[in-house]
Amino acid sequence: MNVLLLGSGGREHALAWKLAQSPDLTKLYASPGNPGIAEHAELVEIKDGDHRGTIDFCLKKSIELVVIGPEAPLVDGLADNLRTMGFAVFGPDKEAARLEGSKGFTKDLCAEANIPTARYARFSSAEAALSALKEFGLPVVIKADGLAAGKGVIIAETAEDTEAAIEGMFDGDFGKAGAEIVIEEFLEGEEASFFAFIDGETVLPLGSAQDHKRVGEGDTGLNTGGMGAYSPAPVLDETLTGRVMDEIVKPTVETLAKRGTPYSGVLFAGLMLTETGPQLIEYNVRFGDPECQVLMMRLEDDLLALMVATAEGRLSEIAPPDLGKQSAMTVVMAAKGYPGTPEKGCPISGIEAAEADGVKIFHAGTSDEDGQLVASGGRVLNVTALGDTLRDAKDTAYAGIDAIDFADGFYRSDIGWRELERG
Ligand code: AMP
Ligand code: GLY
pLDDT tens-digit series, residues 148-163: 887 899 999 999 999 9
Those residues with Cβ within 8 angstroms of residue 391's Cβ, 6 or more apart along the chain or in another chain: 420
Q: How confident is the model at residue 77 (pLDDT cuts 50, 70, 90)?
A: very high
65-68, strands of its sheet edge to edge: 42-43, 27-32, 2-7, 65-68, 88-90
Give the Å distances, CA to CA, from 81 to 1, 8, 87, 304, 316.
21, 21, 9, 21, 26
d(CA 115, CA 353): 48
Q: 225: Cβ below 6 Å to ligand 2?
A: yes
Residue 89: in which H helix or E strand, if any? Answer: strand 88-90
Q: Which residues are bridge partners to 270 per DSSP?
A: 193, 282
Look at residue 262 in the predicted model and tell me its pLDDT: 98
Q: Does a cis peptide bond (omega within 30 degrees of 0) precede residue 232?
A: yes
C-alpha closest to that of 76 among 50, 45, 55: 50
d(CA 165, CA 161): 6
Q: Do the beta carbons of residue 75 and residue 97 sit within 8 Å? A: yes
Distance of CA 346 to the CA centre of its chain: 26
The least confident of 41-50, 144-153, 183-192, 315-324 is 144-153
**φ, ψ at 326 (rounded to 5°):** -85, 165
Q: Per-residue pLDDT tens for 48-68?
A: 999 999 999 999 999 999 999
Q: Per-residue pLDDT tens for 170-217?
A: 998 998 999 899 999 999 999 999 999 999 999 999 999 999 999 999
d(CA 128, CA 134): 12
Query: 0.95 exceeded by the pTM?
Result: yes
Q: Is the pLDDT of residue 282 over 80?
A: yes
> Which among 115, 162, 268, 282 is the best mutation to test ligand 1's pocket, defined by most ligand atoms within 8 Å of the CB?
282
Q: Per-residue pLDDT tens for 286-302?
A: 999 999 999 999 999 99
Distance of CA 416 from the midpoint of ligand 1 (Å): 19
Q: 70: Cβ below 6 Å to ligand 2?
A: no
Q: 284: Cβ below 6 Å to ligand 2?
A: yes
Distance of CA 17 from the midpoint of ligand 2 (Å): 19
- Looking at per-residue pLDDT, the higher value among 356 and 260 belongs to 260
Ligand 1, pocket residues at CB < 6 Å: 118, 141, 153, 155, 184, 186-187, 191, 213, 270, 281-282
d(CA 386, CA 358): 8
Q: Per-residue pLDDT tens for 79-136?
A: 999 999 999 999 999 999 999 999 999 999 999 999 999 999 999 999 999 999 989 9
What ligand is nearest to the CA atom of residue 174?
1
Mean pLDDT confidence for 323-351: 97
Look at residue 247 in the predicted model and tell me its pLDDT: 98
Q: Cα torsion for 388, 394, 397, 398, to the nearest 10°? A: -150
